Structure 1
């Protein structure tokens, strides 16, 4: 048998039975030959076992041949498998190389995109980075001269995102420049500059269309910083602050003017010469006119806040007014709007503006106050007939209301509201009389380039833009009445955008303005909800219309389905008014629109 060492020491790589791979290539040495010879000579005892040894040798040779065959068979199989593995490895290597190429290409593109994004972020950070170069203790003067632009530019960038900061920055810069010019200019030049600024402020407040609250507040802040030099018209102050819900700022400004005038009068009376004490009737009338004008405009601001206690106090102490005015204010303060309306109408009839009283400036101021108060009472009572009658007198039309800023700001809202209410809820005769409103809105909505000739030669485009900004809800209601659902949907979306813009600009301190503005949400929502309902159920409405046209009374399925959808989509979601927080005007709009929906 083979020795066990032959199996354990077989070198499969060289296919030899050696102890190590080094002895494989060595020649036989003398020691190995002598050892073999010695074994043949010295071992005498083995001669008797020669035949047995030959037999064992033959068996071993046979086993060795079989093992050699197995070894060579294993070798052939190993070589064959190695060839197939080599081919497979080549294919796998090609696929792997293609995968690596695509992977690294993708990684390179991602790396480039990340680098590009990183550079953009670095650039953006560098643009918005605020670097602090020096720190000074309180009261310590800087050791370098800082340019004004280095301070103004970051504040200007900050003002782009905050209306309150923009208001403070604009007023502060304007006042600082004005103070520096006061020291550099001559007295006459500075006086002319102040007169120009005062005139420009009057123009901006009188011709404004949207009365942006931050801008109006900034102008009044500048006026309050120089009240002795810049004194603009009290009418423009009250009109702009009431429209922008800044009544508190308007009250502060007008009261500052009144206090300064009283101080100047007292100083002039005590220290002035005798010839200035004995003024002419014209000077006294002008002074009284200015005083009454300021007190009346102050009363308008207080009445806009529903503060009738201060309104009564103002009229009880203001000289030169009619007694009927004080009585009407007393009735209005007790929310007896019907008696107040009768008093104002009586005052307008007893003291009309004629050629004889045309030069009476105080009566003209009081007459204007009566008109505005009468319209306010009509609005509280929802008496649209009297309101329309007192607005459209002496051939007054919508085009003539554009003649001046007073009619545009005070009369136009009441005119559109009264005409629209009579068009929707009036009888057949009243609806026919509102044809001028339909013509006015339809002309503005057309894309014509014709110019409407007015006192200021305004174009149709300018009028349309103004009406759309100021009265988008009224336009949506009007086109819904005309069953023009596309235009109605456009204007109600625009109304919601204008509401969000107006709400974002309101001051947090304007409690009354925020309270009145937030009430617009429900009528806007219900009108938008109804238009969505019409859009979703348009096929059903057409089927229902065909049913009534064909007089098919047997088809009750369509009618029942429509009534069911009306109940679940509209009626079940309508809410009742809040007794405390809901105003009469808002709920009159809601009820009017609901009747229009169900018509």
Structure 2
């Protein structure tokens, strides 16, 4: 049937379809599809203007006359099908339909209804709905004026000769306005039908006024006016008094909005291209079905005249007139009846329509449902009505405090309260003190305190946040509701998890509404109980307890001892990040209270946290060490504390975070730490600030601290050349330093140039106020980029920089904002805060918008189904994870590409010579911080300059040499210590196979024995036999030659000779010869591995004769300590030993140990030592052969065993 109607456009099929579709009460499940099919039918080419008019006529007759349809069916025609057909047809067809039927419609509207005539009521509703579409879809000239065909047809039917143009509009307005006031109390049976009639009449009045009028008085009288003293009610007539509206916070489905198209004229007409793009974007979406019902692009009707309202999908917003009232308020704003800004209404009396609205809200004549309707209109139109918020807020406060919207804290009450808060956030503090009634404000705050409890945690948290926002907004006019909070506290049970009363109390305490005296005794008792709870507290609650102790630790007696008894040090060493941050804050406050003995136990634990991954934790560690070093540096008894603190602060000079590194450097730059003269500071840096742990950043730190003195000089901002070239014409060259733009101006290629035409996209030029460029400026400079070993640059201001603590950077002459990699730690999730709320200042537009957005989050809805809630949380967490990933990528990209200029650039005929000294010093130091070679060159230049300027600097030279050689003795000591240092150095290079360095060292060492040089020369040439003989003559002069003899025997493969050499050395000691190898010292380290290797090799050559030694090895393996040493040093020999004894099980075990040892040693090698890599690869071949041998014998033994079993 639907397909046939779509192809033929037959009115008979349409009438039959209507009878089938609406033969039952309620909506048919295919109603939406049928409506879409009807819309497609009217837009097809087969359906011309005549066909469209015939279809509309057929549908209108079904609804307007009693042709066997149910009343519910005729009402559905009036509200759904007829408006759809009228809005979808072409403009000529629409005009022709109303020309033929407008008189009948007006007569139906003007007809007196008999008592109990249900059919006449329905016919009147149908006529009102059709006329509403007429004034919705037609322009003013189409319905009024002498050229209006519809008005002319009406005048002809009435016999009016002198046509003015507004006859139809006046007649319709008179009857519709009368109908919306008509109440027949004796017709109780059809009370709801009468209400629907009044709603249809009101919508028609709204459509007529919005289409034809632009003055405020018409909206005042026809749309908002009601006169209760005469019994003329508006809102009570529109809303069903018997309906029960509920607004639960917990919903069965997700929060949705429904789209309502109403008969109110839009303010502006968008372009057809925009409408086409909008339709294309909705194609395939969930809104396509709804939006397509009102698509008038094919018919030529003015789409822009249909006002679209998106309202929350609830029962009250689904009211017949809700969308119309909200839309007419928007129309009034478009016309300028409602101003755009609050300044336009400041000091003026409220308009009449607003007076009618507020009187209806506060009036006792308004029923509860009508009051809910009006409040919902205000909430939906909050942005439009914001300019009149000073007049609406008192009325809404009266409703909230009077408990007129219900006895529960439901979604509707929260929406109204949030609307009030959003409006109040725009006001100044003076306005918030004068608008509204204090009694109403206090009353609603008490209601919130009474009803905020909820069994669901999310809802409870939202209610508490609402109460906190309410109290923070109006705290100047509120008082502490002691009775309510006390009642809530009494209802709390220690066995229950619901402790929201405590949070209530915390809200009022944090806003300074609770007045109580200071009592040290009560504070001490409270802290005692709190400290008893600390060992049993878990997770966030333990952090919250520590936060309280951090705020009150200065009031405690012997705080360190009491905290240590509660496991303070264990928590500090092994707690999570939040806990460690709070504990470090406590440490910063204990600097004055703790003794030297106390810090002797605490400081080592604090110093261990210097390598913490969290930036805030490291910042607190540095704060503690700064305070301790400043306190104990001059005390001899606390030298250990000062030394530990100093070490941490020295390492902090190389902290990965710029802000922390700068803070530590500024600490050392203070006059109390380092002298303010370059010579004395250099001496102090070389004498007391060098340490092996800071070797990687020592050069850059020293240059930073030295050149910081230059920023204090008056010459730092002075120009290099005081006489500029006044005849040159210069143009400022501004580089766009946005990190989001990766353009050519950021490429650090100083040798290349860029033409003026190529730089237009990334640079802008500004003409000088005194001179202008008349020729092509030519080539330009380029800035540098962070990822290519250059520090970001920023234009710096000239002038001397005063040393300030904290994060002042003398390079840029500005304060560096802290941007730690880890997010700043938040306080615990509890609303309770012991810090008082600060007084608010006047907020800017962006801050106000952000605050309103945060308040809007309080209008949350919650899902009742746990599965749906879980799914919603999963989706939210996925979005958060994606957002965090995007922020991390953006942060990384910003760090790599952010550009800052240290100096400004200009273009001109000649080079710019107006360069300050700071433009040379700051970039050099910034580059030195990222390149150690540059730092070395820079420090060398500074030291040479200081030495050159000083006539006699023995202290400087002494400290400089101490740093270079790492010696604690003075420079005047004997050179004997040096002569005993080169043999270990030679042994190190020999183990690396670097004999070139060995020969070079021997040639440069004058105090080396000639025999030693000869022996080392022979070993370097590969003459191990001659080297062995030469080393034997040097054994008595040092242990290094003893090792050299044994190593030569090993390299020659003379295992028997190696065994004799070790036996001869062991014979000098008493006791068992083999037990002497385990002396725990020299013999165990030098002789044991080689001796075991030699005995195993001898046993392999002879095949027997080593049974006694092999038995000793078995005994050694039973000792765990000796077994570990043998497995670490002689694992290859153990494999060969057990293979010799045919013990394949143990041989296989030690082969696996051999493989693990090889992998571990291989992972620790570097490509910078190729000799060690090659030597290790040689052992890999041995390992492979042993593994294959053991595997072969294992398979062979298994095969033999299998045959014997068979």
Establish whether TM, by shorter chain, passes 0.5. no
- For normalisation by structure 2, the TM-score amounts to 0.21
- For normalisation by structure 1, the TM-score amounts to 0.40
Structure 1 or 2: larger helix share?
A: 1
